[in-house]
Amino acid sequence: EGILELWRELDAFKEQLKRSEGKPEYVFYDGPPFATGLPHYGHILAGTIKDIVTRYACSQGYHVTRRFGWDCHGLPVEYEIDKKLGITSKDDVFKLGIDKYNEECRSIVMRYSKEWETSVVRLGRWIDFENDYKTLDPSFMESVWWVFKELFSKDLVYKGFKVMPYSMACTTPLSNFEVGLNYKDVQDPAVVVSFPVIGDKDNASFVAWTTTPWTLPSNLALCVHPEFDYLKVQDPKTGKVYYVGESRLASLPGAVPKKKSKKSKKDDKDSSEGFKVLEKVKGSTLVGMRYEPLFPYFKHFEENGAFSIVSDTYVTDDAGTGIVHQAPAFGEDDYRVCIARGIIKKGGEVPDPVDPNGLFLPIISDFAGRFIKEADKDIVQHLKKAGKLVDQATLTHSYPFCWRSDTPLIYRAVPSWFVKVESIKDRLVENNKKTYWVPTYVKEKRFHNWLENAHDWAISRNRYWGTPIPIWMSDDGEEIVVIGSIDELRELSGADVTDIHRHFIDKLEIPSRQGKGMLKRIDEVFDCWFESGSMPYAQQHYPFENKAEFEERFPANFIAEGIDQTRGWFYTLMVLSTALFDKPPFQNLICNGLVLASDGKKMSKRLQNYPNPTLVVDKYGADALRLYLVNSPVVRAETLKFKEEGVQSVVKEVFLPWYNAYRFFVQNAQRLQDELGEKFDPKNSDLNAASNVLDRWMIASTTSLVEYVQKEMEAYHLYTVLPYLVGFINNLTNVYVRFNRKRLKGKNGVEDCRMALAVMFDVLMTLCKVMAPFTPYLTEVMYQNLNKCLSDETGSVHWERFPDPAKRQKADEKIQKSVGRMQSVIDFARIIRDRKTRPTKIPLKQMTVVHSDEAFLSDLMGDLKVYLQEEINVRSVVSSTDVSKFASASVVPEWGVLGKRLGKSMGQVAKALKTLDAKSIAEFEATGQITVEGHVLGEGDLKVVRTFRAPPGANPDDFDADGDGELLVILDLRLDEELMQAGTAREVVNRVQKLRKKAGLEPSDKVEFYYGLDDKNVSLCKVFESQKEYFVSAIGTAPKPISQQPKHSVSIVSDVCELGDSAVVTVTLTRPVIVPQMPALQELGGDAKTAEDLAVWLASLNLEENRKRSGNQPLRVNLNGKVYMLSEGKHFAW
């Protein structure tokens, strides 16, 4: 909330746009969501991706306009109003009035807009809500009209009948890509029905299989495959005769003989003998044969050749009977076949006895008014009574549902307006090739295949709340005027038009130019996908405004949405831009996958199977949720099973270490400022002059981070950034800060401390700028504080440019490799310590690093050696290139690789490898090649394994080693009394540091340390005596027995500490006090009274302040008119 308030005070987003005015434009299109529902994780994911990319583009010196958009028309809005008002049919809408219906729709389109804005802003996304675009704005709708008129003028629009997916709940056809949004497994009746052949001597019937009995009243034909074989068979039990596909004979119950079991008796009457074959013919022979209609409702089509056998190659033999029932109003192939055979005519009557809501019309007298899916059972029962039901079953299959109403779709022939997509298919494919997608396989496979198989796009909807299709037509349909602008409509209609929704323009008429009276507008509105596909032009009111600006900046640099949009927004954008300009609409695209619940199911409000996004953000912060999402497979178009623990792990594994490093820097920069009395300025330290090896390594690593993130972001690979960042932060906290803790606290002097802090400042400030697009809040918090070292002005990290790698020190690969080697040695040494139960607190005598590469060893034995000694806690580190002195080598085959290649020779080669001597193995390592049993083997075929060998005469338990085949680390595990004492001292220091933390002491707070021992632990006195130098180095003071604690000293904290081996020590920390040395003071003053007065004077001083003022010189005391010079160590002590 504090950062949001800061951004509001700075007007940070607008200021960012202002500062980048005049710079190259990075064009971003934001796909419009509906505001009739609240944002979910899918919206949060897409919004995060968009925000990261556009923030990054801004940091690279681009001006990035980011306008939020709203999809305001279409079924989602109407569906809500239908539920609210109880509207179930067109008649209900007309009774209410389209004007009132549409205004009801208008009233809810922005229902949750404020909640959207709050959510989007809280997630750290910067986007313009004040200058947003809405698809209901007249300016937007006018540009949609322009798009349509352009397509019409290019002869890319036509009207036709087409069998399309149709939603009975929403009373409108859907596009093919909408159908793919919601498939479900359902159970449907599966029936085999007989159609009696007219004039057959055997009274045969054709049999057809269907899962939609409700379509049978509309049957006009039966279709066979001309090349398939068909049988005329007789059921020996009933005497009935059927025509059926030979390969589908088994679809008839009892048609195929059952295999008799061993237990069956010869005279077993229940054993089926199968049907008797009377005749075998090709499908083409059956064409023209006539049959009796199942129902009489459309008998008048008989004069067109209905109720006869037709043929087409779309018939398959993998299901059904090989004979397909044809209802041209309810099947795409049915419609095509019946048109081709002249059974129905183009523009003529199509037998469609179903109303817009899925109810049978009065013509279907037996089932009038019944919902078609509910009528299935009655129709089947009717056929059973008529003796025409051959078989009845239930089929579970995948079936399309309406993506809005979640009700089953049907396929039906509807009049519609189409865009000729098929005629521009080749250009769509070519334009797709010009785009860059992440991941590429979605572009090259899924989207490419969709374009390759694209059908003409039905763009009209028989609805009310949408952009009206601007076609005015004569009553005979022969004269058409397409309107392309509001001014054109005003001119032709003579009306003053401002709003172009249906209820404002439906009554407007245009005089005919052909003497056909007045032209009226057609009823349909545009599919809302047509509107969203038009958004690049409509959001800028092109071409009526911003014409030159748009044309200069088209296509967009970047868009992003979910994988479901390959058949939605991505597709409609591509179709319209190709049709209008023969260009792709975008250059770069990130396609994300779906966010599912943790159990892999779709997130459901009803099931409450996912955590509330608002609560997750409140608990862990928006940055944690952002990073979790973009670091998951979902950014590569795969699915993500959302787990709250994943968000928590980002906080734990990324933010806490990062923030701890930042806090450590702040504490020590503040300490340095307090000690020197001047502001810490990192610019006073020249990083190019850094001599410390870890300083140079950290600077180089930071440059590598900048280069890496820049390279990955240029490739739109958001998902690779976090893993690299985790490794970088680990290096910062667990290597740089850990190994340099004393330097950063000033142990090596002010200048060295300044340099180390300057390096940390560079790392942290650079990290803020690099990660600002990903974690806008955390980076802003750190930046606000860090920037105080450079400027007194308040700014924002989001106004900063992304660091330029060319202006930084070169990413020294050699030094990064060297430190990487050091880390490998440390890792192996830790493994040995853990395995042999030698805790790091106990120092060891020696570590030996063995490697055949002299350069490898020279890296470690130079500047890095001291860090190896400290981190592993060994007294000395030695190296050797003579691997054979410490280990025996053997070679093992890579079985998976060699087995396939060598086949039967593998066993012989494996046996020979066991006999290789050290010389042969050494040659293989040097050359990377060896010949064994006549087979040339190289790297990747073999692996050299080294087995550690203890030094001659040594106890094997006193040494241990670990490594990776090339590097061998050996530890001398022998312990003596001095090493044990040093280990105990380290443990005591650890307890002291914990007590300091418990007491709330700052690192700069000085303390005195007193220890108390009972009779059982007096031996620990040796530890405090022998390790005095270490104690002073570690905690700033030498330990003293509790008996020496001055009576007037003030205890801060005291605790009884249990050490290893059951040792117990009482640790007491006190404020430092001045201890007068009375014999020396009496000698200086000449008598006991003067000595006592000097002691009182000393007790009144703040010694630390006097040290700073006097530079640790003797103190000058004026007492009773006489001057005394008091020296620390002689006249007083701590």
Pairing of strands 276-282, 229-234: antiparallel
H helices within 651-749, ranges in order? 656-676, 693-714, 721-731, 738-744
Residues 758 and 682: beta-carbon distance below 8 Å: yes
317 contact partners, CB below 8 Å, separation of at least 6: 225, 228, 245, 247, 248
Amino acid code (one letter) for 283: G
Instruction: Pick the catalytic residue from 16, 326, 565, 981.
Output: 565
Residue found under tokens 């330029």: 804
- Length of the chain in terms of residues written: 1134
Q: What span, in angstroms and rounded, lies between the C-alpha atoms of 1076 and 1097? A: 10
Is 584 among the residues known to form the active site? no
Closest residue by Cα to residue 937 from 892, 975, 1003, 976 = 892
**Sign of the CA dihedral 475, 477, 480, 483?**
positive
Is 187 among the residues known to form the active site? no
Pairing of strands 241-245, 205-210: parallel
The CA-based diameter of the chain, rounded to the nearest angstrom, is 151
Whole-Å CA distances, 890 to 312, 718, 886, 902? 71, 44, 14, 20
489 contact partners, CB below 8 Å, separation of at least 6: 470, 483, 495, 497, 500, 505, 508
Residues 326 and 223: beta-carbon distance below 8 Å: yes
95 contact partners, CB below 8 Å, separation of at least 6: none
Q: What span, in angstroms and rounded, lies between the C-alpha atoms of 1029 and 591? A: 62
Amino acid code (one letter) for 3: I
Angle at 1062 between CA 1056 and CA 1064, to 5 degrees: 25
Residues 562 and 594: beta-carbon distance below 8 Å: yes
Task: Count Cβ atoms within 10 A of the Cβ of residue 247 and give its class: 0-12 exposed, 13-18 middle, 19 or more buried.
Answer: middle
Determine which helix (DSSP H) or strand (DSSP E) holds 924, and give its type and residue range.
helix 918-927
Residues 82 and 88: beta-carbon distance below 8 Å: yes
Amino acid code (one letter) for 309: I
Instruction: Pick the catalytic residue from 7, 30, 32, 1076.
Output: 32
Pairing of strands 241-245, 229-234: antiparallel
Question: What are the structure tokens assigned to 465, written together?
Answer: 């709340």
Is 529 among the residues known to form the active site? yes
Q: What span, in angstroms and rounded, lies between the C-alpha atoms of 637 and 614? A: 24
Is 652 among the residues known to form the active site? no
1003 contact partners, CB below 8 Å, separation of at least 6: 667, 668, 671, 745
Q: What span, in angstroms and rounded, lies between the C-alpha atoms of 134 and 72? A: 6
Is 71 among the residues known to form the active site? yes
Cis status, amide bond into 439, omega within 30 of 0? yes
Is 258 among the residues known to form the active site? no
Residue found under tokens 């034909």: 221
Distance of CA 157 to the CA centre of its chain: 39
Question: What are the structure tokens assigned to 77, written together?
Answer: 């809005």
Instruction: Pick the catalytic residue from 18, 433, 605, 810.
Output: 605
Determine which helix (DSSP H) or strand (DSSP E) holds 142, and give its type and residue range.
helix 138-153
Residues 222 and 205: beta-carbon distance below 8 Å: no
Residue found under tokens 């800060």: 737
Instruction: Pick the catalytic residue from 30, 51, 71, 456.
Output: 71
Q: Is 1060 helix (H, G, I), strand (E, B) or coil?
A: helix
Is 605 among the residues known to form the active site? yes
Instruction: Pick the catalytic residue from 116, 214, 529, 658.
Output: 529
DSSP string, 522-576: -S-EE-HHHHHHTHHHHTTTTTTSSHHHHHHHPSEEEEEEEGGGGGTHHHHHHHH
Instruction: Pick the catalytic residue from 403, 450, 569, 697.
Output: 569
Q: Spell out a b/e string for 774-803, using b for 16 or more CB atoms within 10 Å of the CB, else e.
A: bbbbbbbbbbbebbebeeeeeebbbbbebb
Annotated catalytic residues are 32, 71, 529, 565, 569, 602, 605
